[in-house]
Amino acid sequence: MKEQQNQKNKKRSRTMKNVVKSGIALLLFIMLISCTVNNTATKEIKDPYRTFTKIDEFDGFTINETKGNSVQLSGTELNWVELELQKYQKKDEIKYNIIVEYYGENWLNIESGESLVLLIDGQRVGLTGDGSLNHRNIADSDYLKYLFFAYSMDTNTNISVEEKAFFEVTPEQLKLISDASEVKIKITGANYYVTETFTPSTFVVFKSFYDEFVRESNESE
């Protein structure tokens, strides 16, 4: 009888420990969600500047590129736009690109030609590219869920397609953007167009990228 009672006490003790552990885990999860919501209520990420580097030793080039540089949602269509910055270097050849990454419910079909226009403190700057014809895909749902969660948005999105288009940009144009106080963009597709406005986070990314990858070579020329 005594042994059975001891076993019951041990079982009850293990049950209580499991309940406590579950309660602590739930509390930590709630705290994490609360912190995330509070920190991103204005759709801004504390440290938005993130880059990665790709080195191709066979063809002898290096690429430095930003990731997750979103701009403000202001259109009537449910969409998400990122403007990534890229530096391509092969020996003495250096090129810079603004990469438009569009996520939406419907295809935008970014056109070739001058399909990215920026208003930089009211000054119009048109950029040309080949459009998104070779870069149209079904959207990565896992990435979108992470992205929308980080910005405290509903992860049950209807966004289903993504497009990417490359636009070559000069160091002088990057400096103009980085020094601006307001930048608006217009992305033109065959089906419709999207307009967006830079957030403070967008400016942080442009300024940080310019300082790290552009300033030295631009100002030494």
Exposure of 172 by Cβ count < 10 A (0-12 exposed, 13-18 middle, 19+ buried)?
exposed
Type and span of the H or E element at 86: strand 79-90
Indicate whether 115 pLDDT > 50.
yes
- Confidence band of 221 (pLDDT split at 50, 70, 90): low
Q: What percent of the chain has pLDDT over 70?
A: 69
Which pLDDT score is estimated for 159?
A: 83
Give the model confidence (pLDDT) of 132-173 as tens digits: 999 999 988 787 777 677 666 666 667 889 999 999 999 999
Confidence grade of residue 198 (pLDDT, cut at 50, 70, 90): very high
Indicate whether 123 pLDDT > 60.
yes
The structure tokens listed for 29 are 């999860």
pLDDT of residue 197: 93
Rounded CA gap, 12 and 4, in Å? 12
Question: Taking every pair of C-alpha atoms in the chain, what is the biggest distance, in angstroms?
Answer: 91
User: What's the confidence (pLDDT) of residue 104?
Assistant: 87
CA-to-CA distance for 60 and 56, rounded, in angstroms? 6
Domain ranges of the chain: 1-39, 51-219
Average pLDDT over the chain, rounded to whole?
80
Task: Specify the higher pLDDT residue, 187 or 36.
Answer: 187
* Identity of residue 144: L
- Comparing 38-52, 92-106, 181-195, which segment has the lowest mean pLDDT? 38-52
The per-residue pLDDT for range 14-53, each reduced to its tens digit, is 554 444 444 444 433 443 444 433 333 334 556 789 999 9
Mean pLDDT of 176-186: 97
Q: What pLDDT score does 46 carry?
A: 62
- Residue scoring higher pLDDT (55 or 10): 55
70 pLDDT exceeds 90?
no
Cα gap 79→193, rounded to integer Å: 11
Q: Which two tokens stand for residue 52?
A: 């990665």
